[in-house]
Amino acid sequence: MQVPVNGPDPVPQRLDRLALRGRPRDAALVDRGGTLDYGAFDRTIGVLAAALLTRAAVGDRVACWLPKTRIACLLPLACARAGMVHVPINPLLKRAQVAHILADSGAVLLISQPARIATLEPGDIRAAAAIDALSIPTDHDPLPASPPDADPHALAQILYTSGSTGRPKGVMLSHANLWLGAVSVAHYLGLAADDRVLALLPLSFDYGQSQLLATWAAGGCACPLDYLTAGDAVKAVARHGITTLAGVPPLWVQLVEAKWPGAGAPTLRRITNTGGRLSVPLVRRLRALFPDARLFSMYGLTEAFRSTFLDPALIDRHPDSIGTAIPFAEILVVAADGTIAADGMPGELVHVGPLVAQGYWHDAERTALRFRPAPAASVLGGMAVWSGDTVMRDAAGLLRFVGRDDEMIKSAGNRISPTEVEEAAVAAGAAEAVALGIADERLGQSVLLIARGDGDAERLLSAMKRDLPNFMVPRDVIWRADMPRNANGKLDRVALKTEYRA
């Protein structure tokens, strides 16, 4: 386990105790409703936790389908304080995806907005009771924070992430996973009580959630923003005196193309990236635009939260590196025979340590594929996440991402299941369909749909737009009279990927 000599405290606690990390009069959250200092922050979480306990029981799942409202920001800690399991839902998802998450998680509450709730059908809710977030009572006595010796290994959250096949799967995260992840990130980023972090990314995204939790672990202030244009983010940086900005590559493309004031962003101390590799030209542009900000390039996976980061002092010499292990993580490069790959040789990135999640919710088969015993060479041992991603380690110990072994499509920081896109295409009228990720300079990848059917792409895409979030809708459709098949009679994805250079 890589923990600096003067590193963070490795003892995990319950997640809700993050509300106690800051000084009472320091700001914890700034949003449209004003400023919450840490004293009010702790009380508000306690009141929300008490209100939840009037509608659900300890251990119940509570789903949240909201933009970055105050309730959405506080709910992870409030659920933790109430002993419930938080289930965040991407606000960009539509009825079918939300219905699946509600049914799969067995959520008993859905906290959302009336307009969103109205899009759901009676069968979508099933056992869940839909609650308008604004109707949650605020007159309860606050529930106190959990004691320091409360079990940190209890389930705290189910974070849904798309796989290469099938519908989104729920990654089970304990209080320890989330606490240690927040403390680790706050430590290696060097966050402090005077930092102000602009939260641009979706809170249902592990990196987006980290914006909040790591900030509070450091006693800093989070400023959530639902933005429409990059210009909104530019204005927010100046308005709030933002010191820390997190993004994914497509967002950084927008930000470097935005119009910044003459002085740039003098308050920025650090910018961070994950969810896809920054291109070398984009690294150069970011360094020129924010010369005084430290640029952190990182790699992560939902099943272990975060795995590596590159020391900003090395970014100019190694712009394509994902760095080395973060605190509390042991990262191995494993060859096909199970041994540790030699320097310069490709291998699978395997993550070991206390950040490893508890598996997939009610899915033993897929859990067994991804979560397996650590390699014999591991120092920590125990259960590991076998990422399926190929990396190489150089003689200096720095890692470089080589490729993704599964069929996942990553577009604008979103993980897209090809199967989900294909099911929507067939439902919209295609006889058969295969979704592929095609290299895209701005998005990382865009979705290409290969379909067999009547050839009316406009009608097909119009129908798919009704059922899928925008980031999952194919950019292009190619119609074919027939589809290649393998010896088992299945659609031959390898042949299609070769033909269209996916």
Structure confidence by residue, pLDDT tens digits, 86-137: 999 999 899 989 999 999 999 999 999 999 999 999 888 877 889 999 899 9
pTM for the full model?
0.87
3-state SS, residue 473:
coil
What average pLDDT is seen over the chain?
Answer: 92
Radius of gyration of the chain (CA): 22
- Cα–Cα distance for residue pair 131/136, rounded to 1 Å: 8
Q: What percent of the chain has pLDDT over 90?
A: 75
pLDDT at 228: 87
Residue 407 has pLDDT above 90, yes or no: no
Least Cα distance to 397 among 308, 316, 305 occurs for 308
pLDDT at 276: 77
Mean pLDDT of 486-490: 57
Residue 488 has pLDDT above 60, yes or no: no
3-state SS, residue 496:
helix
Structure confidence by residue, pLDDT tens digits, 237-253: 999 999 999 998 888 98
Which pair of structure tokens corresponds to residue 204? 């249902």
Place of tokens 């896809």: 276
3-state SS, residue 399:
strand
Q: Give Cβ neighbours of residue 485 (< 8 Å, ≥ 6 apart).
A: 491, 492
- Cα–Cα distance for residue pair 370/163, rounded to 1 Å: 11
Reported residue count of the chain is 502
Place of tokens 């033993």: 364
Please give the CATH number for the structural domain made up of 409-500. Answer: 3.30.300.30
Q: Give Cβ neighbours of residue 58 (< 8 Å, ≥ 6 apart).
A: 82, 83, 84
Q: Are 436 and 500 in contact (CB under 8 A)?
A: yes
Place of tokens 């509600």: 102
Mean pLDDT of 217-238: 96
> The domain 15-402 is classified under which CATH number: 3.40.50.12780, 2.30.110.10, 3.40.50.11540, 3.30.70.141?
3.40.50.12780
**Residue 145: CB atoms within 10 Å:** 21
Which pair of structure tokens corresponds to residue 394? 């150089």
Residue 487 has pLDDT above 70, yes or no: no
- Cα–Cα distance for residue pair 26/23, rounded to 1 Å: 5
Which pair of structure tokens corresponds to residue 483? 């589809």
DSSP 6-45: T--------GGGGGGSS-TTSEEEEETTEEEEHHHHHHHH
pLDDT at 55: 94
Structure confidence by residue, pLDDT tens digits, 133-152: 989 999 999 999 999 999 99
Mean pLDDT of 14-43: 97
Name the helix (H) or strand (E) containing 477. strand 476-480
- Cα–Cα distance for residue pair 31/236, rounded to 1 Å: 11
pLDDT at 250: 81
pLDDT at 454: 80
Residue 423 has pLDDT above 50, yes or no: yes
Instruction: Show me where the domains of the chain are located.
Output: 15-402, 409-500
Residue 406 has pLDDT above 70, yes or no: no
Confidence of residue 5 (pLDDT cuts 50, 70, 90): very low
Confidence of residue 431 (pLDDT cuts 50, 70, 90): confident
Task: Indicate the DSSP class of residue 85.
Answer: E
pLDDT at 151: 97
Structure confidence by residue, pLDDT tens digits, 313-345: 999 999 989 999 999 999 999 999 999 999 999
pLDDT at 164: 46
